[in-house]
Amino acid sequence: MVYLDNSATTEPWPQVLDAFYKAASSYFGNPSSLHRPGVEAETLMDKARESMAALLHTKTEELVYTSGGTESNNLAIKGIAMKHRDRGRHLITSTVEHPSVKEAFSDLEVFGFDVTYVPVNKEGRIDPEDIEKEIRDDTTLVSVIHVNNEIGTIQPIEEIGRRLAHYPKLYFHTDHVQGAAHVPLDLNKSFVDLCSLSAHKFHGLKGTGVLFIKQGVFLSPLFHGGSQEQAARAGTENVPGITAMSKALRMSREKKAEDNGRLHSLKRHLIDALHEIQGAKINTPTADSAPHIVNVSFPQMKPEVLVQELTRQSIHVSTKSACSSKLQEPSTVIQAAGLGEERAASAIRISFSFDTTKAEVDELITVLKTNVPEMQKVMGEKK
């Protein structure tokens, strides 16, 4: 099997699964309980929090555990908006956000919030000046994705953060889910107030995430019923998932340090090969894009048909965000970048992990070079 859909989810590493199993079997107590099994579970969770805080260069009390990226994004956006609604109801985001961000803002609009959607250029990149121009006296939150989950564009988060630092009553959130392993972000240099991560994007387990909330930032919780996680997220913590997430993040950072540009080279190799296929249009920008994502369109072809043909040959890629891939609609990200509806309606996403090999990429290239022309011919005959 050639698995190239790592932006949707990564395969948990064996060491991560071992950490999960040990925590689940030996530290099964409720970490809020006062008896010994509860205290042992809490101690293990605290050690995981300390490890993650060291990796992210944050304070332990600034990390709130969640069920994943979607919850972290919703907690950050809705939590800040609702907490500070008396001061202002204007929010700013971009036109190329993940559905969990986009739909959170859409929901807030129903409740009377005014949302400005800042456009991007043809590389899917925001101009920080465009964001600053939209700031008003009643603006309370700016949320911008760090690494785009579909085309891999890296947004200038540090520059945006430096500009927003001049507006002390405004909060800055970033969806760091796709960048956590491959494009680490310095939260301090970026002046970020809130930052979302999801374990299963860096070889952890699904159902576990974290939200960085800068000390001194307060938000309204989504859940009620307990004082866990600094009263920001009620509910019994997933100690095994948290332990595994800490292990996965540490291993991912180690793999990143050892990578030495290998994934960038693999990405260039794939893009060069895709250019040899007639009609292929690369949607991932050449510069300032993540090393693990390549998005390509084959105009006039249905991407879901190509994905199914590839999976029939045990090669697994995707169309767009896994959260919306079953919706047979053109990519809103590619449309927002002004690349046209035809490219938006015919795009597939290929995404690597640290474990991806050149042999696997070459296998994909061989199959694409054989199957795409044949499928294009069939499509032409049907016309």
Cite the active site residues: 323
Give Cβ neighbours of residue 162 (< 8 Å, ≥ 6 apart).
191
Instruction: Count Cβ atoms within 10 A of the Cβ of residue 230 and give its class: 0-12 exposed, 13-18 middle, 19 or more buried.
Output: middle
What tokens does 25 get?
A: 């079997």
CA angle 5–7–11, rounded 5-degree value? 65
Cβ-contact 144, 174 below 8 angstroms: yes
Indicate the SS3 state at residue 90.
strand
How far is Cα 162 from Cα 219, in angstroms, rounded to an integer? 22
CA dist., res. 342 & res. 337, Å (int): 13
Instruction: Compute the Cα dihedral for 49, 55, 56, 60 and give only its sign.
Output: positive
Q: Which residues pair with 141 in a beta bridge?
A: 91, 171
Task: Provide the greatest CA pair distance for the chain.
Answer: 72
